[in-house]
Structure 1
């Protein structure tokens, strides 16, 4: 007997269950946007082995996304708002109207900041920080006492109304965390193809998820269920 086709709700439910358990999930954004699949973790669940997996199996940039309200309270700017350099002028992005990048950080207890252990420390600590910030118990001075910049973990700042304003992996991951009732901090890392150097195809990303028993979902399915 053939397996019943998975519905949109089934796919989103599987991703939510995995995320709540602290497992990574794979999210493909949209064919007419970046056309990329990111491996996405709840930031608080990340350990050194997870950073190694992102380095070895994904290969993209390891970033932590924080929601707009948390970023505002912590005085984390959009980098294109504060850089005074010709390279920062006139962003001509083929896939979006602006970059989500803020600055980079290391936890002050890290050494160089780049090792799997150091990055996992920085990443995992950002989850309780985001939660405490949203609760009003943590601010920019606290952040400066705990983290230093520049560092080796890239921070991303979500759009104010998340998926209503922008449909990038930043917002998809943060909306998933909200729906899963997890701290508002998620890790995103693009999956690349070792042979071509391009973004990993959706088919190859789905195959990777199946081989490693990970949940995979299309961004449009998340939009349908979370907006």
Structure 2
């Protein structure tokens, strides 16, 4: 395939993903074969309902996380967990795929019950979208966050790198870059797609087939980098 044809394909895939995000639909994003080599099911956080959490549980199977940008995380007082954990397990970050983890802490919305049900997690996730917008506008801070959410909980928060894809190219940053480009709330849900038969990450071709069967947009990280950076 020529580079021109390749570029056209990347542009079309990214355009379709952006249109889907603006419509509140999930998309599939594969990062890079030489990184995690995983495909995540990615949602705009504000569009997530109980059925979406069920899909992530049943069809994806990975960890359900909400990614927030660095500036929003700063406003809300959300740290990187490896900066605050005082335990021998947190003393060395020997990740095979990156220099650090994006994990912050876990939360439940205070109106939830146990926090783990599809309904409870959807409540927590969807509420994080307007919170992120308000925090970015300087209208919501750590005290407000503590009044609405409790920790620990059942929704994992991820903190994006300060310059997103220029600093780090994980699913956290890929999803947040999509949200920025789509002009939607700066909060996205990511969940890894796993393979029931092998116990490994779902192969890219299988993830693409899943996207085709369900009418979801699929994009490679390389294509996103080419079009968004």
> TM class, shorter-chain normalised?
over 0.9
1:116 CA drift (Å): 0.1
In 2, the alpha carbon distance for the partners of 1:165 and 1:96 equals 11
Q: CA deviation at 1:163?
A: 0.1
CA distance, structure 2, for counterparts of residue 61 and residue 190 of structure 1 = 6
Q: Aligned-pair distance for 1:96?
A: 0.2
1:115-164 CA distance string (max 9 Å, x none): 00000000000000000000010000000000000000000000000000
Q: How far does residue 51 in structure 1 lie from its aligned partner after superposition?
A: 0.1
Equivalent of 2:11, from 9, 12, 21?
9
Tell me, in whole angstroms, the C-alpha distance in 2 between the residues paired with 1:10 and 1:184: 23
**Cα distance between partner residues in 2 of 1:8 and 1:78:** 32
Aligned-residue Cα RMSD (Å) equals 0.9
Aligned length: 224
> Is there any run of 5+ residues in structure 2 with no aligned partner, and where?
none
Give the C-alpha shift of residue 7 in structure 1.
Answer: 1.2
2:96 to 94, 97, 108: 94
Following TM superposition, the consecutive aligned residue runs of length 4 or more in structure 1 with deviations greater than 4 angstroms are none
Q: Distance in 2 between matches of 1:18 and 1:74?
A: 28
Alignment correspondent of 2:66: 64
Report the equivalent of 2:26.
24
- Aligned match of 1:158 in 157, 160, 167? 160
In the alignment, which of 216, 221, 224 is matched to residue 222 of structure 1?
A: 224
**TM score, norm. by length of structure 2:** 0.97
Distance of 1:196 and 1:204 partners within structure 2: 12
Q: C-alpha deviations, 1:154-205, integer Å up to 9, x for none?
A: 0000000000000000000000000000010000000000111100000000
- How many angstroms apart in 2 are the aligned matches of 1:120 and 1:60? 16
SS of residue in 2 equivalent to 1:7: helix
Matches within 5 A, 1:191-202: 191-202=193-204
Q: Aligned to 1:37, which of 26, 30, 39?
A: 39
Is the aligned partner of 1:139 residue 2:144? no
Structure-2 residue corresponding to 1:116: 118
Distance, in Å, in 2 between the alignment partners of 1:70 and 1:214 is 28
Partner of 2:52: 50
Unmatched runs of 5 consecutive residues or more in structure 1: none
Give, in angstroms, the shift of residue 221 of structure 1.
0.2
Secondary structure at the aligned position of 1:197 is classed as: coil
Aligned twin of 1:107 = 109
Aligned counterparts of 1:152 and 1:164: Cα–Cα separation in 2 = 30
